[in-house]
């Protein structure tokens, strides 16, 4: 069996995400194993984030944690969840016409950003 490239491994992951309805929770260890490296440090996180983006995926939290035990929510960037995340991040306070809506958007934004 031929070895797969990093791009192929991330494209296979993207197919799993699409097969799961466009959203899939994985561990940091699983992401690290796609690279592969000894540990999920800052450099490896950057490689993983770029490879996910190249495969058409995005993730929550916004920055992948370096803790391999942490879970990461992957989603198809052009899917419904991707559109929702982008809308919340883009619209922010501009579209909130009252304090209640603004507070809800702030709470969602904090969740999306992992705060």
Q: Is the pLDDT of residue 95 over 80?
A: no
pLDDT digits (tens, 9 = 90+) for 68-78: 899 999 999 99
Tokens, residue 60:
């929550």
51 and 7 Cβ atoms separated by less than 8 Å: yes
Domain ranges of the chain: 1-76, 79-115
Q: What are 32-60's pLDDT values in tens digits?
A: 889 876 666 778 888 999 999 999 999 99
pLDDT value, residue 97:
54
Nearest 10 degrees: Cα torsion 14, 20, 21, 24: -70
């Amino acid at each position: 069996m031929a070895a797969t490239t990093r791009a192929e491994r991330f494209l296979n992951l993207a197919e799993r995400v699409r097969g799961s309805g466009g959203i899939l929770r994985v561990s940091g260890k699983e992401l690290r194993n796609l690279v592969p490296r000894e540990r999920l440090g800052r450099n490896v996180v950057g490689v993983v984030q770029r490879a996910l983006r190249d495969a058409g995926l995005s993730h929550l939290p916004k920055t992948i944690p370096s803790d391999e035990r942490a879970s990461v929510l992957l989603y198809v960037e052009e899917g419904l969840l991707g559109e929702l995340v982008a809308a919340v991040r883009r619209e922010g306070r501009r579209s909130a016409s009252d304090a209640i809506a603004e507070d809800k958007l702030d709470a969602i934004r904090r969740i999306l950003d992992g705060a």
